[in-house]
Each structure stands twice: as structure tokens, then as C-alpha cells.
Amino acid sequence: MQAWLEKVAKMFDMAFVSGERWKLYIKGLGVTLEIALFAAVLGLAIGTVVALMKLSTNKKGGKSIWARVANVYIDIIRGTPSVLQLLIMWFIILKSCKNGVLVAVLSFGINSGAYVAEIVRAGILAVDKGQTEAGRSLGLSKVQTMIYIVLPQAIKNVLPPIGNEFIVLLKETAIVGYVSLTDLTRAANQISSRTYEAFMPLIGAAVIYFVIIKILTILLEKLERRLRKSDNR
């Protein structure tokens, strides 16, 4: 028992303490969170715009040119692996850009936007058509009706799936090691290859992801409850 405990303590020391290795995890986590946060904001912005594009109609009530463009974007993004999108962004499209984090943010933001677009579109369609008709019948324009009446109600509809998308995005950033960024996953991996001991670093990184996502989940639930309360339904 004594020997086993000593072994565990040594493993822990190697993985986290000696050489101030814990700093590497924190630095890695910083990169992970930085990419995830900015990509989420970018994805939300792209997704909302693309959702509105996809819902736009031409004068005859058919699909507009904007809707077709949106469809092509969504098809391409959803039809290819995100790792490949990241590699293509890094090695081809933004070859001259030396800021890896920026490339990752763009890549993940553009990727997430396609999924967010479908979520937002569903949220808008779930708002009763009568709300739009009432707005338009009062003389409000299409845009005013969308901004003041439909979107605020759509946000409530989309919060749970958007939260889910953020969580997926946060974990998806674990692939940025492919473009030689040191995020949490890569930091753990590097340490395990330096100490020839995989258990502590990998499990440790997993626990950190888990805790971060648990906190995110709790915050999202709180936000959802608050929005429901003002709803009084």
C-alpha cells in the first residue's frame, strides 16, 4: 500500500509539479478557451446572418440568391471534416498568416456558423407566423418585425441547442495540435511523451475539460431559467 501510494505521488509530481509543469496545462487551457470563445462569438454572428439569408425569399416567394449562397456554405462546411477545414485554412488559404490562434478562430468560427445557422433558422421558424403578420399589419417593416418581435422570441427557442453547440465547439478545439498550437490536449500529450507516463497528464486534462464544461452547463441553465421567467408562460 505504502509503495503504491508513493508511486502515485511520484507520477503526480512528474505530471504536474516538477519543472512547474502545471503552468503548461494552464497555458494550454488559456489557448483552448481563447480559441473557443472567439470562435463561438464569430460562429454566432455568422450563423445568425446565414440563417436570415437562408430564410430570405425573392419577389416571387421562391429561394433568393442569398438563400442559395447560404445553402452552398452550409453544405460545404457540414460535408467536410473540421480537422481538414483547419488544415486547409492553415496550409492553403491563410498560408501567409503566422498567427495560429487567429487561423484557428476563423476556421472554427466558420465551421460553427454552419451549425448555428440551422439552429437559428429552426428557432425563427418555431415562432408563430401570426407574430410576423401582426407586426407587418401594424406597418412595421420586415426588418423591424424580425428585430423587435421574432428574434427575441427565437433566442429563447434556440438557447438549449446553442449551448450544446458551444460545448461541442470547446471540445473540438482539441484538434488545434494539428497546426502546432499548444492547447490543453497537446500540452498534456507533450508532457506524457516527455515523462513516458500517460495516465496522469491525459486523465488530468480530461478532468479539466469536464469541469469547464460542467461550469458552462450550469451557467447556461441559469440563463435559460432567467429567460423563461420573464416569459411567464
Partner 1 sequence: MIIVKDLHKKFENNHVLRGVNYHVHQGEKIVIVGPSGSGKSTFLRCLNLLETPTSGEIWFDGQLITDPKVNIDKIREHMGMVFQNFNLFNNLSIMDNITLAPVKLKLMSKEEASENALSLLARVGLKEKADAYPSQLSGGQKQRIAIVRSLAMNPRVMLFDEPTSALDPEMVGEVLDVMKGLADSGMTMVVVTHEMGFAREVGTKVLFMDEGIIMEENTPAEFFSNPQCQRLQDFLSKVL
> Does position 233 bind partner 1 by CB under 8 A?
yes
* Ordered DSSP codes for 13-49: IIIIIGGGTHHHHHHHHHHHHHHHHHHHHHHHHHHHH
Residue 56 vs 153, nearer CB to partner 1: 153
Q: Which stretch binds partner 1 (CB under 8 A): 64-72, 84-92, 139-147, 217-225?
A: 139-147
Q: Which stretch binds partner 1 (CB under 8 A): 41-49, 142-150, 171-179, 218-226?
A: 142-150
Q: How many residues comprise the chain?
A: 233
Residue 157 vs 164, nearer CB to partner 1: 157
The binder of partner 1 chosen from 133, 199, 206, 210 (CB under 8 A): 133
> Does position 157 bind partner 1 by CB under 8 A?
no
Contacts of residue 32, defined as CB under 8 A and 6 or more positions apart, other chains included, come to 170, 173, 174, 183, 184, 185
Taking the complex as a whole, the smallest distance from the CB of residue 56 to partner 1 amounts, in Å, to 17
Using CB under 8 A as the binding criterion, the count of chain residues that bind partner 1 stands at 21
> Does position 139 bind partner 1 by CB under 8 A?
yes
Residue 98 vs 229, nearer CB to partner 1: 229
> Does position 131 bind partner 1 by CB under 8 A?
yes
Q: What are the b/e assignments for 43-64, b being 16+ CB within 10 Å? A: bbebbbbbbbbbbeeeeeeeeb
The binder of partner 1 chosen from 57, 58, 80, 144 (CB under 8 A): 144
Q: Percentage helix, strand, coil, to 5, in the chain?
A: 85, 0, 15
- The residue written with cell numbers 421558424 in the block is 125
> Does position 137 bind partner 1 by CB under 8 A?
yes
> Does position 136 bind partner 1 by CB under 8 A?
yes
> Does position 141 bind partner 1 by CB under 8 A?
yes
The binder of partner 1 chosen from 56, 64, 71, 153 (CB under 8 A): 153
Residues 30-59 touching partner 1, rule: CB under 8 A, are: 59
120 with 157: CB under 8 angstroms?
Answer: no
Residue 233: exposure state from Cβ atoms within 10 A (0-12, 13-18, ≥19): exposed
Quick count: other Cβ atoms within 10 Å of Cβ 226? 10
Residue 188: exposure state from Cβ atoms within 10 A (0-12, 13-18, ≥19): buried
- List contacts with partner 1 (CB under 8 A): 59, 128, 130-131, 133-141, 144, 148-149, 152-153, 231-233
